[in-house]
Chains A and B, each alone.
Chain A
Amino acid sequence: MTWSRVGLPAVIVLMALTFSVLNPNFYSALNLRNVARQSAILSLTACGQTMVVLSGGFDLSVGMVIGLISVAASLVMVETGLWTGMLAGVLMGVGIGASNGVMVAKMHLPPFIATLAMLSAARGVALILSGGLPITDLPRDFRWLGAGQVLTLPLPAVIAAIVFVGCHLLMKKTRFGRYVYAIGGNEEAATYAGVPVARYKISVWALHGLLVGVAAVVLTSRAVSGHATLGEGAELESIAATVIGGTALGRGRGSIANTLLGVVAMGILTNGLNLVNVSTYYQMVAMGVIIAGAVYVDQWRHRGD
């Protein structure tokens, strides 16, 4: 617990100080608002990913599912209008998440296989629907979702904040959260205690899917078009934010609050590296190293548990 209480906050402060020395613009209100706006999508996917990880799973399909929903919701929006399009996107997220959940909880596929299969299928369907081309001609009002402001705060960041608070309360204050932790900690014990394990697993995957759906719709609004490749890398980023925050894969240990710190750390790192002109290619390499390092350090700290 010392990592999420002391270590990670210290790293965040250190990064913020370093970047503000290297580039004075880092602390400008404009840039911080940018960090918030950019981190909003990651917040949504990371919250979902964290809950799935706490239940003992993980989702590799996030990125491709975002692409699929972006394309499908855009098509519906062009055909039938703004609200039905957004609703379709979110509902699709729930459906896809629940499908992943059924594969894991009912068919007993390892999450790795289930979500890898979903990744491939989602990518295929997205390319079939779009023909590989972006879908434009979206309603003009739709832009507000990604670019709008509420009391000078970026709307996506406001959505992310609400989701963070909601997920935190759900995981800490409700029976649902308690059972998710129990299933991740010892599925047999949960079963023996009378917890309907399959139902709760499918529910947590569906909830994660809902958040992925929201993320896809917001991202599509920011891109002002539907793209099959819109969510590229989102699975890794959401897993990275989760494990950097200190939520362990497959042990039911960690929290939404930890992941908030993970998202902040990732946001500052990405933004800071951009400000000091480190190319995205190097950032990808850094991300790989950070993920492997975070999991290694976590295992090392909890050896013998």
Chain B
Amino acid sequence: MTPGAPLVEMRGIVKAFGAVEALRGADLTLGVAEVLGLVGDNAAGKSTLMKILTGVHRPDAGEIVFEGRAVAFHSPRDSRALGIEMIYQNLALAPNLDVVGNVFLGRERTKRVLPRVMEWLDERRMDAETRKILDRLKIRMDSVRAPVARLSGGQQQAVAIARAVSFNARVVVMDEPTASLAVKEVGKVLALVSELRAKQVSVILISHRLQDVFTVADRVMVLRGGRGALDTRIGDTTMDEVVKYIVGADTGGLSHLASGR
């Protein structure tokens, strides 16, 4: 898999919250159809960097370049307009709505009943479009009419991913997609990440599970103290090395972290 020209470049991103410097000149590069593993300990700045990429926060300094053009995001709507979608760990789905309701939440298809007065949801069309998206991602689901609360954790992730893709996403940011999944479901979600890449969608995978990153990512980037500590192709590094960069210094003896959950 050879990633093409950079789709997204973030350069010298600085962001402080009061006296706390969350990011101190972080860089990030993401190619077309590339899967980037983003790792680092809890205060490393991963989520702040992603919130800047998705327009939730605005950087104090630094620039974002998308397809070679400098862009400024004032709200998540701006980044979404360029095809950047974030899948949050918990706030992605409404458990009481069915698969179709979730995939189309916030941009339901409607049909006119009385012009200008009343519009009804076009369930048949949303149903068909949902199935099409699921098929395209090779996601198998018994019913698109089941409330997502009744689906397994892996299937819920699949629904969230299908939702992102249905916006014609070009970049999907996943926040710990496998953290709460049963072992056999992890593989399915990772397969879905590969499927996205095959569909020319770029993925940023935030994960504490290094084995996931090493299974599916093309590159891995370590953030530490608000700055990039390592940025390398997966083939050029090892889990032990990545762990060393995550914790800083040659602490040694911590390599067991690489394989633990």
Main SS at interface, chain A: helix
A178 pairs with B121, CB closer than 8 A:
yes
For chain A, residues 134 to 177, give those with C-beta under 8 angstroms from any C-beta of chain B: 173-175
Most buried by B among A191, A192, A195: A192
Q: Is B248 an interface residue (CB 8 A)?
A: no
Partner of A186 from B94, B106, B121 at Cβ < 8 Å: B94
For chain B, residues 59 to 115, give those with C-beta under 8 angstroms from any C-beta of chain A: 76-77, 88, 90-97, 101-102, 105-108, 110
Given A174-B120, A178-B101, A185 and B94 contact (CB-CB distance below 8 Å): yes
Given A193-B106, A305-B149, A181 and B94 contact (CB-CB distance below 8 Å): yes
Partner of A174 from B97, B106, B119 at Cβ < 8 Å: B119
B106 pairs with A252, CB closer than 8 A:
no
Chain B count of residues within 8 A CB distance of the other chain: 24
Across the interface, which residues of A come within 8 angstroms of B77, CB to CB?
A: 194
Main SS at interface, chain B: loop
Across the interface, which residues of B come within 8 angstroms of A188, CB to CB?
A: 90-91
Given A190-B105, A194-B107, A195-B106, A173 and B120 contact (CB-CB distance below 8 Å): yes
A185 pairs with B106, CB closer than 8 A:
no
In whole angstroms, what is the CA distance A99 to B106 when docked? 26
A175 pairs with B97, CB closer than 8 A:
no
In whole angstroms, what is the CA distance A126 to B77 when docked? 47
Given A192-B91, A194-B77, A178 and B96 contact (CB-CB distance below 8 Å): no
For chain A, residues 240 to 259, give those with C-beta under 8 angstroms from any C-beta of chain B: 251-253
Q: Is A189 an interface residue (CB 8 A)?
A: yes
Across the interface, which residues of B come within 8 angstroms of A175, CB to CB?
A: 108, 110, 119, 121
In whole angstroms, what is the CA distance A191 to B110 when docked? 20
Given A174-B119, A175-B119, A186-B91, A193 and B96 contact (CB-CB distance below 8 Å): no
B73 to chain A, nearest CB (A): 15
B residues with a Cβ closer than 8 A to A are 76-77, 88, 90-97, 101-102, 105-108, 110, 118-121, 147, 149
Ordered nearest first, which 7 A-B pairs have the shortest CB separation? A193-B106, A185-B96, A185-B94, A188-B91, A194-B106, A252-B96, A193-B105
